[in-house]
Amino acid sequence: MTYPVRLRLLPIARCLFDEPIVVKIDGLRSKQVVTIRARTTDERGMLFSSSAAYRADAGGEIDLSRDPSIGGSYTGVEPMGLLWSMKPQILHKDFRKTRALDPVMVNFSLHEEEGRMLAEATNERFLMRDGVSRVPVQEGNINGVLFTPPGEGPFPAVLDLYTSMSEKRACLLANKGFVTLAVPVLSGRPQQIHLDHFADAVHFLQQLPKVSSKGVGIVSRSKAGDIALSLATFVRGVKAVVWINGCSANAGLPLYYKNKQLLPALMFDRKKLFSTNSGAVISKYAMHDPLNTESRDSLVPIERACGSFLFVASEDDLAWDSKAYMENMVERLTNNGKENFESVCYPGAGHCLEPPYEPFCSSALNIFTGMPALWGGEPRAHAAAEVHLWRKIQEFLRTHLSCEAAQTKPKMLNQKDDQDDI
């Protein structure tokens, strides 16, 4: 008896964006070679796709959690390889997923070597768990989106900073039990940045009735990283900061607070942008050295911070030398007798570390240079780093934003209790 070919997505075809699935196929001929394709579009309508060849076992079955790809977008046993290996139809495009309400739809299809389709299934990857609320916040200087877990709480609070607006990570954190406010660092083309706007966001979170304590966590990447460092240093109530591939100095634009300049900008030299054959540039060595005498005033004095830090650096970051920035911060804290930090370094990972299971971004527009940039990283190593980091972020935030942690006041020397009075 001949059975129909089936392509199944397990445990179910509908899952959270950051959850893995298992792709299984049965009904094939013994040792039959087939190709599995994955396709999706981002919120701009940009097509991303991947494919991998597999050989069925003696029983005509393929299990991507067990069986190796023998060719295509990747090789080897990679259960989620069809997702992270997807590439854009047009060069230098990132996977744009900034809105939380719309799920990502991924079509998986199975094809014979001649190309005829044998089966297909659709994976609906949604960002908002049932019961999570999404509320736009436009209050004073705050322009963001608040995500709140279901239930009465109390919950730990997190300020999620992206360089440009994105709801993705904030919503996924709310699924895990964090009240999370997503706020962009840059809007339009500012000539300077005002820390007051982000301090207001911290204070807003502190006053929410469902928030468990007065301590707020911050998650940040790239340019948002130095804003997070500055909040931890100058604004009271920041208890935990996740800094991912950022800068140790105030990068690009002068930083103001309470109507005066707080930190000058660490600038970059466009002459040190390295052009590649792809049309994208490498900007890793274009930033001025923050340790040089003329740039040291731009360093964020994190030695003054009361909270805890999780520093994360990718060794193959081509946007800037995030590993060197991280090593400098670790050295400064250590020399000042501080133990309020953890550091993680990922070999083979690039600049754009995101929540797991989205297409690897090798290059895209850099809003500071106005040019396509190579972000660095090897896709397989980068994807593995994202899985590990996503768990690490949640563990770090839970540890330092618990009620017990909030009740323990850090000891600081020669510093007022109220950091707002600088």
Residue with tokens 């020397």: 413
Among the listed residues 353, 354, 366, 303, the one whose alpha carbon sits nearest the alpha carbon of residue 330: 303
Beta bridge partners of 299: 249
Q: What is the 3-state secondary structure (H, E, C) of the chain?
A: CCCCCEEEEECCCEEECCCCCEEEEECCCCCCEEEEEEEEECCCCCEEEEEEEEECCCCCCEECCCCCECEECCCECCCCHHHHCCEECCCCCCCCCCCCCCCEEEEEEEEECCCCEEEEEEEEEECCCCCCEEEEEEECCEEEEEEECCCCCCEEEEEEEECCCCCHHHHHHHHCCCEEEEEECCCCCCCCEEHHHHHHHHHHHHCCCCEEEEEEEEEEECHHHHHHHHHHHHCCCEEEEEEECCCCECECCCEEECCEEEECCECECHHHCEECCCCCEECCCCECCCCCCCCHHHECCHHHCCCEEEEEEECCCCCCCHHHHHHHHHHHHHHCCCCCEEEEEECCCCCCCCCCCCCCCCEEEECCCCEEEECCCCHHHHHHHHHHHHHHHHHHHHHHCCHHHHCCCCCCCCCCCCCCCC
What are the catalytic residues? Answer: 222, 317, 351
φ, ψ of residue 387 to 5 degrees: the values are: -65, -45
Euclidean distance between CA atoms 145 and 181, whole angstroms? 6
